[in-house]
Structure 1
């Protein structure tokens, strides 16, 4: 684990109370490393056991995870490096040394954040899917009572905008089946449709099998996304959103008659 204090993270490895502290950079080249580590221990000693553990584990006073800007920048650089390398070779062929070299960091930095390169990939996939789900939920999350598919506009439906903003990641992850991204995205969409079925599909008659209807819509959305990605993002995000909404509205009158 890393213990950050007053803007620096230690460049050597030390242990205290069973935790490993990695000091990666120093405010001044001439600083006495031993003296700096004493400061770390003094800071740690002033915390209670639970507070120390929370601080080391990256939690705030409420026990919630926190992440400073330096950690965010480092992890983003490592993930960008992984994406670049995955365009060139398979994951099994990529080494941690290649990842950190491409990102401009040391191996010690990598191991301060991840244990394996697969952990880095998992976090990348989780972030991409998490952002997609947030974009998907945006039209109804803040005002569920007023949600109406017939009233949605391209400005309120952001899933294609989000994909366009993360074009490189989607293009890579969707085309590489062995990374498990497509199945995880499918499952994430299926989970939303299952949990929000009554809200998202209020006009579907009771005699329509719910599971079949959900899966038909899951694969329909994934098919549109895959088509757009495989076409090299031939159309704009707005055009794709327009088409998706028009297609969805075509089925509304028919559903009302069933």
Structure 2
């Protein structure tokens, strides 16, 4: 397939995803029709059905790509192969809040509505899995189950994200990363 067609496909899919996000701000997924999605996206129904059989497939593709970006954002500081700890982690290495800021409309829908029921649990599960990777690399802490520690850390980060969303992204991603690092250092030494 040539570059022109690839670009058209990407453009159509982006328009459909943006339309869906726009509609999800107003109502639940079950109330949204394919007709509404294509009207807001300004594409024809054939374009929708060329890429997706159902609106749920569009949602799944959108969520999957955001989850992949979440994973990449979380793992960014670890890509250099360094063994990072709270002591040698810096604010610029923390990318998870940049990810949330880049997908702020999506996260606001998840946090503030029932439009995509169950997605908070899926994101928390993914965060817990990511935390487990890091926790397993650290030394065992006597008396603490590593899976419980990973879960605690995941839900703590999710709590920060939810509070940031509830405050309409009042702070910058850098500020939120700094807050997370400060909290991690505080809890480590207190």
TM-score by length of 1: 0.68
**Structure 1 residues 7 and 209: alpha-carbon distance in aligned structure 2, compared to 1, 3 A threshold:** closer
**Structure 1 residues 223 and 6: alpha-carbon distance in aligned structure 2, compared to 1, 3 A threshold:** closer
Distance apart, 1:5 and its partner CA: 6.3
Instruction: Name the structure, 1 or 2, with higher relative contact order (CA <8 Å, separation 6+).
Output: 2
More divergent stretch after superposition (111-120 vs 172-181): 172-181
> For structure 1, which runs of at least 5 residues remain unmatched after alignment?
9-67
CA distance in 2, matches of 1:175, 1:79: 19
**Structure 1 residues 204 and 223: alpha-carbon distance in aligned structure 2, compared to 1, 3 A threshold:** farther
Say which one has the larger Rg. Answer: 1
SS in 2 for 1:155: helix
**Structure 1 residues 154 and 196: alpha-carbon distance in aligned structure 2, compared to 1, 3 A threshold:** closer
- Name the counterpart of 1:71: 9
Kindly tell me the number of residue pairs found equivalent between the two proteins.
Answer: 189
Deviations 1:134-167 (A, max 9, x none): 1111001232x34232122221111111211221
CA distance in 2, matches of 1:7, 1:156: 36
Distance apart, 1:197 and its partner CA: 2.0
In the alignment, does 2:98 pair up with 1:161? yes
CA distance in 1, matches of 2:110, 2:47: 25
**Structure 1 residues 142 and 69: alpha-carbon distance in aligned structure 2, compared to 1, 3 A threshold:** farther
CA distance in 1, matches of 2:67, 2:149: 22
- Name the counterpart of 2:142: 206
Question: Please, what is the CA RMSD of the aligned residues?
Answer: 1.9
CA distance in 1, matches of 2:148, 2:129: 14
Equivalent runs, 1:116-155 vs 2, <5 Å: 116-143=54-81, 145-155=82-92
SS in 2 for 1:149: coil
Structure 2 counterpart of 1:222, from 158, 179, 189: 158
> For structure 2, which runs of at least 5 residues remain unmatched after alignment?
none
SS in 2 for 1:150: coil
Deviation >6 Å, runs of 4+ = none
